[in-house]
Structure formats: C-alpha cells, structure tokens
Structure 1
Amino acid sequence: MIITWKVGGGLKDKLKEYEQRMTEANFKLTSQRRLILRVLLENINEHLSAEEVYQLVRERNPRVGLATVYRTLELFCELGILHELNFDNNCRRYELEQGDYHHHHLICLKCGKIIEFSDYILKDLEGYIDREYNFDVVDHRIKFYGYCSDCRIESKD
C-alpha cells in the first residue's frame, strides 16, 4: 500500500507552525528561510537534495546562495522540521517531518524514483522484538531497492 502524505491545514498553517517552532528555539524565520520552507512544502511528496532545493529557490530569488540553503536545511533538521535521508547514493535528501506518520521507502535502481510506503505489519514486528528480545525499538528505517512500475514496463518492451 502506497501512502502519500499531504500538508494538513494548508501551507499558511504549516508555515505558522514552523515559525513558532523556530521562535521557541530562538531562531527567526527570515525571508530566505521562509522561501526554502515554502519550496519544501510545495514539494512535500518529493525527496529533494540540497542542490534541487537550491535550484527551486533560485528560480524565485537568485540572490539566495547555496551555502544559505545548506545551513537552513541543517537548521531545519536540528529543529525537527526536516529529516535527512541517505539512500546509499552519496546524496543526502530531505523530507519534512510528518508527525506520527512513519513510513519507509522503495527506491528504483533505474530511474531513482523514491516511493513512500507504510506497512502496519512492522508495528507487529516491533512488538515481537520487544517481547522476544526484551528490546525497546524506538526507531527504524527500511529501504527496498528494485524497479518501479514504469521501469519494469520499459524493460519488458
């Protein structure tokens, strides 16, 4: 089952929520940070690299530098606004925090597409691990590598 997370409450509500989180941590939501956050929110279902965020930001404001994008992404990760992901291709990618929605990733080896999925059977597995091994699971990350439906169709042609 593939699940796509959408911004609940709208863009303005999420911007306010993140602005409050930054204010509570004694940071300001500058115009550059606001623009970067807006780009991330508008691409909520993407797993963007810093360079991709930079390109999208520069389309709107060419004065924003790559270093600003990197620093802002790092800050957003520290504040729990973003999660940094590594899909083993030496390229860090980012996604906005999604509350209680825990998901995993399917990575296409041909085109690089990243598909999010959630499988509640993993909750049962966590319970089993806790009972069987007396081990308190606090987090996990699962990545499956293979070929998306588009690339599977191309290879059959």
Structure 2
Amino acid sequence: MDKTNALYENIQEKGYKLTNHRKTILDVLIENKDYLLEPSEIFEKVLKKNKDINFSTIYRNLEIFLNIGIVRKISLENGKGYYQIIFEDHHIHSMICKKCGRVETLKSCPFEKIDMTIFEKKGFLPDSHKFEIYGFCKECLLDKK
C-alpha cells in the first residue's frame, strides 16, 4: 500500500470522512513534504486545485490531521505555526531551515547516543521523543552572503 492510501485509511479508521477537501489538503501537504508550511501557504496552494474551499476549512482540517497524528505542527522563533505531513509512525528527527522551512530528516537518532543513566538517576522513563535542530540550509546560507 502506498503512503497516500495509508494516510487516507488512517483518517477513515479514526472515524472521519475522506472528503474531497481533505484529499486536496493532503495532496498539497504531500507535494510539499520536505517543507514546513503556514496555513496561509497551504490555503494558497489548495486554491490552485480547488477554488471551492475557504481558509477555515484548511485550519479546521489541519487541527483534525494534527489530532489524528498524520501532521505535525512546529512553532518557530517568529511565533508562527507551521505544518508538515508525517508518513512514518516512528520518532521524528529533523534539521529545519529557519529561513525557507525546508526539513531534512535525519536517518539516525541522536537520542540513541544519550547516556540513559541521566534518566535513571532522576527516576524518569522516557517513552517518546523528537529531535529537531534549527539553522539554515545550504541554499539559504549562500543567500545570506
């Protein structure tokens, strides 16, 4: 089964209808899977595919996707919320460009190299995590010079 169909099934398994608006929003998120997008950017891209949609529909569905766990929301230093589609169920480890929003997924998990005795001493058992590094991608660094 391809990733798109898995997302569709996930929505339906959680009790939501797979409407044309939801499919269009998902298509935009999938097409831009390597970038963080603001709701207004998503709306702009969705309008090119379906003129019969309003901003509140975008925002409402992003919240549904977030609750289902197929989208993640990241707030950058500018205070804005950005969204990205999630294809895998495992932990997310990313490098995020603060200028263009490009997201590069790390193949290995830096958490695996952490000394677990830190948690043991505190009586804490971690069961999930995410690892995000913020900075500037190569293209944006060249633009800064």
The CA distance in 2 between the partners of 1:115 and 1:24, in whole Å, is 28
Relative distance call for 1:46 and 1:113 in structure 2 (3 A) is closer
Of 88, 104, 107, the residue aligned with 1:116 is 104
Relative distance call for 1:50 and 1:154 in structure 2 (3 A) is closer
1:48 aligns with 2:45: no
The CA RMSD measured in Å over matched residues stands at 2.4
The CA distance in 1 between the partners of 2:115 and 2:25, in whole Å, is 36
* TM-score, with structure 2 as normaliser: 0.81
Q: Which residue of 2 aligns with 1:80?
A: 69
Q: Measure how far apart 1:132 and its partner are.
A: 4.1
Of 94, 97, 121, the residue aligned with 1:104 is 94
Stretches of structure 1 that go unaligned for 5 or more consecutive residues are: 1-8
Confirm or deny: 8 A CA contact 2:37 2:101 kept in the other structure. no
The CA distance in 2 between the partners of 1:24 and 1:147, in whole Å, is 38
* TM-score, with structure 1 as normaliser: 0.76
Stretches of structure 2 that go unaligned for 5 or more consecutive residues are: none
Number of aligned residue pairs: 143
Of 29, 34, 42, the residue aligned with 2:18 is 29
